[in-house]
Structure 1
Amino acid sequence: MFGMLSVLAEFQRELIAANTRDGLAAARARGRKGGRPSKLSPDQIALAQRLYDAGEHTVAQIANMLKVPRTTIYGHLNTRRMDSAPLAQESAVVADQPARTPRTCPTCGHEPTTRAEAAHQRADLAVTWLHPDPHHRGTVVSRHHCRHCEPGQPAFDIACSVCGDGPVLAGALAEQAKNGHLSEPVQRWLTAAEWAVTPDLLCPGHAYAAD
């Protein structure tokens, strides 16, 4: 009897899985996708991509224009697209120019090769990402990433309540923040960086103004 029950249970699981796959396939055939609905419409996503590709707006500025967090913009942008116009041959001006320039990503070492990519990289490297310190439990480390080494989801945008600027949390720190809790290591980092964490999050510039 127990053997028959286990066979029936396994058959039921396989039947449920097959029905789920068939349902998803039918939904995709009708042009529907699963998951949470996007906060941005297709037109807004296209606008964000055009602004980003033009190299004249940072991700933070685009997010402010569309009234969404920076992490939403990061999730929709195709940040690996590059402009075809090459950078000027600056090395020809200075014969002994070092191989690594200020445009070089400090995390992965990538150096842009086009004007548009250089503009994007300067803006991307201006964003501070906070990660759990792999060597010291209970602490965080700050890093700067270009589009090639930028962390994926989960990510959480810490935004000043006045200007909307601030660091981005990655990994487990982001998961904790999405549950409505900034971990103690993150709060210590913000305090050390002269942020105000209570009653509102305020960046150093606006924290001093509030005082």
Structure 2
Amino acid sequence: MITRLDRLGRSMLHLITLGADLRERGIGLAEGRAMFGMLSVLAEFQRELIVANTRDGLAAARARGRKGGRPSKLSQDQIELAQHLYDAGDHTVAQIAGMLKVPRTTVYGHLDQRARNGTTRRIPEVPETAAIARTSRSCPTCGHEPTTRAEASHQRADLAVIWLHPDPQCSESLICRSHCRHCEPDQPAFDIACAVCGDGPILAGALAESAAAEGLSEPVQRWLIAAGWATTPTLRRPDHK
């Protein structure tokens, strides 16, 4: 059932053509040809007003520094607080996320944004079986070596997080990696959180998009079960079964 003309056609010309087609098929218009024409003009005019107002609103938002999209879960003060706590070296990302009551992926997405906006990062493809010459403090993915004790403390906490990536060679397999802040994957990311402690691996790339839209995929669930996780009735780490 069509209750509004702007839902029936895309433009006045489309509505007039549709009206002529209905008349040729012997279908009468309850409101008459003249009323149908006037309403089609008003419907198109209303649609053009909505489009113009939307564009004006987006332009005004851009002028105020807004880029559109979903609003951030963190205010600018919270983002600066998270960065300060992280840089101070006294709190891990998981602890900062708990303080701000947001997922770890939200905190990861806002940390060091100024550096991210100025550079394009590339994560090297490292074979799972390859031996990387590094010290115990260096990142196994990019090889970054921390230069201060605070950075080393952060890097140990960051490398303790497991990131699951799609295997480019096999759609049913996953690749496990650890990342420091310098090679951490960009958004999207999806946080698999234990129902007891809130800790767990993070999905990256297509795995994250699939989990956000449809829930955990079969390969991800198989990985969790193989790692000792309980998946029903809630997600729980092996030490919280």
Pairwise TM-score range, normalised by the shorter structure: 0.7 to 0.9
CA RMSD of aligned residues (A): 2.4
What residue in structure 1 maps to residue 94 of structure 2?
60
Deviations 1:95-151 (A, max 9, x none): xxxx72111111111111222221221111011000111222211111001111110
Aligned length: 176
The equivalent of 1:125 in structure 2 is 159
Give a deviation string over 1:12-35, Cα, whole Å, max 9, x none.
xxxxx9998775443222344411
2:218 to 184, 189, 207: 184
* Distance in 2, Cα, partners of 1:58 & 1:31: 30
Counterpart in the other structure of 1:69? 103
The Cα shift of 1:204 comes to 0.8
Task: Give % identity.
Answer: 78
The answer on whether the counterparts of 1:79 and 1:147 sit within 8 Å (CA) in structure 2 is no
Within a 5 Å distance, the mapping from 1:31-70 to structure 2 comes to: 31-70=65-104
* Cα distance in 2, alignment partners of residues 128 and 167 from structure 1: 5
Summarize the alignment of residues 153-164 of structure 1 with structure 2, pairs less than 5 Å apart.
Answer: 153-164=187-198
Q: Equivalent residues in 2 for 1:130-145 (5 A)?
A: 130-145=164-179
Unaligned runs of 5+ in 1: 1-16, 82-98
* Aligned amino acid, residue 61 of structure 1: Q
Aligned with residue 112 of structure 2, among 68, 75, 78: 78
Name the residue aligned to 1:115.
149
Q: Which residue is 1:168 aligned to?
A: 202
160-169 or 128-137, which deviates more: 128-137
Distance change (3 Å), C-alpha of 1:80 and 1:62: same
Look up the equivalent residue of 1:49 and give its one-letter code: Q
Deviations 1:52-84 (A, max 9, x none): 011111111111111110010011111787xxx
Q: Which runs of 5+ in 2 are unaligned?
A: 1-50, 116-132
Aligned to 1:5: none
Higher relative contact order (CA 8 A, sep 6+): 1
| 1:155–1:174 Cα contact (<8 Å) kept | yes
Indicate the structure (1 or 2) with the bigger Cα radius of gyration: 2
2:200 is paired with a residue whose SS is coil
1:105 partner letter = C
Distance 1:75 1:142 in 2: 20
| One-letter amino acid of the counterpart of residue 131, structure 1 | H
Q: Is the 8 A contact 1:110 1:148 kept in 2?
A: yes
